[in-house]
């Protein structure tokens, strides 16, 4: 909400050496803006993934930080899809972090990516019961 309000004028803010800035975009699609006409698909997929991550985390008790980041990021984007225009589960996700060599993204996207990376590290590292 803060990014949507502060960046509503459409101009980039806080440019840092031509490398990155804060710029408001509204993404109806998935990562990198793919399938922009499939907002309902992304709503349902996000709902399913967040539900699955929460169930897995509660049952396994493993990797609470990575799973929390994935679920929290997914819920953040899900809230945008529910609460933002045009409504009817067709809302657009607010993206605002713009590196000039990468598509614009948001903090929820960052949480998901970091959570997945940590989850992969958790799964590939040896666990104490496997090393004995």
Give me the active site residues, please: 95, 109
Please state whether the peptide bond connecting residue 86 to the residue before it is cis, i.e. omega within 30 degrees of 0. Answer: yes
Quote the strand ranges of 6-129, DSSP E. 13-16, 20-27, 93-99
Integer Cα distance of 103 and 29 in angstroms: 13
Paired tokens of 23 = 């710029």
């Amino acid at each position: 909400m803060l990014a949507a309000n502060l960046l509503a004028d459409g101009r980039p803010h806080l440019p840092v050496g031509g490398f990155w800035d804060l710029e408001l975009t509204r993404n109806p699609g998935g990562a990198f803006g793919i399938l922009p006409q499939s907002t309902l698909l992304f709503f349902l997929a996000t709902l399913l993934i967040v539900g699955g991550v929460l169930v897995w985390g509660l049952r396994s008790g493993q990797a609470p930080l990575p799973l929390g980041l994935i679920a929290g990021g997914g819920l953040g984007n899900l809230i945008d899809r529910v609460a933002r225009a045009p409504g009817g589960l067709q809302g657009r996700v607010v993206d605002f972090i713009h590196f000039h060599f990468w598509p614009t993204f948001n903090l929820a996207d960052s949480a998901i990516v970091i959570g997945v990376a940590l989850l992969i590290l958790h799964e590939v590292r040896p666990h104490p019961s496997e090393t004995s």
